[in-house]
Amino acid sequence: MTVAHAPGSLVSPARRSRRGWWARTASDPRFAPWLYLAPMLLLLGVFTYWPFVHTFYLSLTEWNLNPDQPIEFAGIDNYDRLVGNTLFQAASYNTAIYIAASIPLKVLLPIPFAVFIWSLGRAGNLYRTIVFLPTLISFVVVSVVFLWLLNPLGGLIPSFFQQVFGWRIGNVLKDTSTAIWVILLLSTWKVIGFNILIYLAGLVSINRTYVEAMRMDGARDWTVFRRLIWPLLTPTTFFVLIYTVIFTIQQVFTPIDILTEGGPDSTTTNLFYMVYQYTFITFDVGLGAAGTVVLFLFLLAITLLKVRVLDRRVNYQQ
């Protein structure tokens, strides 16, 4: 028996009638792309876009997290209050310090380490493992360990300086001039291994015959680095710069919370921790939400600035 097919159809009518709504929709070119995108769109909608919209809404209200308390519309009052608030001013200033200090410490400092390990070839594998180890340790554990190490009463670090150099080191976490640097150094120690690995991945992509050709041209180590490795490493540096600046704000949340709780005198808090302080310590949800929106705009501005300004100066290998 032969079955007549409709012109242009690959499926017999008998077979098509047996197919359900789901199969028909999945093969319909109008709906199929949306169907495939649906799981991701659902996740993004629920966990990213809806919270963002809701945060923006909360930033225009006054609420204290109490479910029995009605949410009152407050317009842009929260933004007004935020700008005049000393905690916000201190957090903004500290955020600028965290970012500015992160560039030499977390973006540039790993480069010489990575180049050194790269130059060792296979012998560098041991160093690679050693520098990456801190990345694997939980930041909570690291913070608690450093809390002990820095304890002015018998902590290993103050005792070491006392016994070896005769220096008396007080409580650096309670000192307004040192606390932020302790957190910065701690977070640098935590991420430097990861950044070194990223730089090593970038270095591996540089063809070693370029280095040999440059040596044959008469270049010494510093010239090879300055004229070859640095320009060819710029895509990696650019990537490390972007994510370090963005994530350094979030990353230091844990040591701030465990070591200083934003103090002393708000000298270690940043915009990210400030949002937590407003929302979950003083229960001023409107102010916390307004801070979140400001933080978002700040990070968006930095990202756009970097893309516009720095992307033009990046050398990508063919």
Nearer to other proteins, 28 or 212 (CB): 212
Choice from 99, 144, 219, 258 touching other proteins (CB under 8 A): 219
Under 8 Å between Cβ of 198 and 236: yes
Q: Give the shortest CB-115-to-other proteins separation in angstroms.
A: 17
From the list 42-50, 101-109, 225-233, 255-263, the region that binds other proteins by CB under 8 A is 225-233
Site string for other proteins, 185-214 (x = CB under 8 A): ----------------------x-xx-xxx
Number of H helices, E strands in the chain: 18, 2
Structure tokens at 116: 């050194």
According to DSSP, residue 6 is labeled P
What is the four-CA torsion angle of 281, 181, 291, 253, rounded to 10 degrees?
-60
Task: Tell me which stretch binds other proteins (CB under 8 A): 104-112, 172-180, 220-228, 289-297.
Answer: 220-228
Give the shortest CB-231-to-other proteins separation in angstroms.
Answer: 5
The site for other proteins, by CB under 8 A, has a size of 20
In Å, how far are 136, 215, 231 from 220, measured between CA atoms?
36, 7, 16
Piece in contact with other proteins (CB under 8 A), picked from 11-19, 104-112, 219-227, 271-279: 219-227
Which one among 216, 222, 309, 312 touches other proteins, defined by CB under 8 A?
A: 216
**Minimal distance, residue 223 CB to other proteins, in Å:** 7
| Cα 272 to Cα 254: distance, rounded to the nearest angstrom | 11
Tokens for 147, please give them. 């809390």
C-alpha pair distances (Å), 88 with each of 231, 278, 283, 291: 39, 10, 15, 8
Q: How far apart are CA 128 and CA 124, in angstroms?
A: 6
Q: Write down the least CB distance from residue 206 to other proteins, Å.
A: 9
Binder to other proteins among 227, 281, 301, 311 (CB under 8 A)?
Answer: 227
Binding site for other proteins (CB under 8 A): 207, 209-210, 212-220, 223, 227-228, 231-232, 315, 317-318
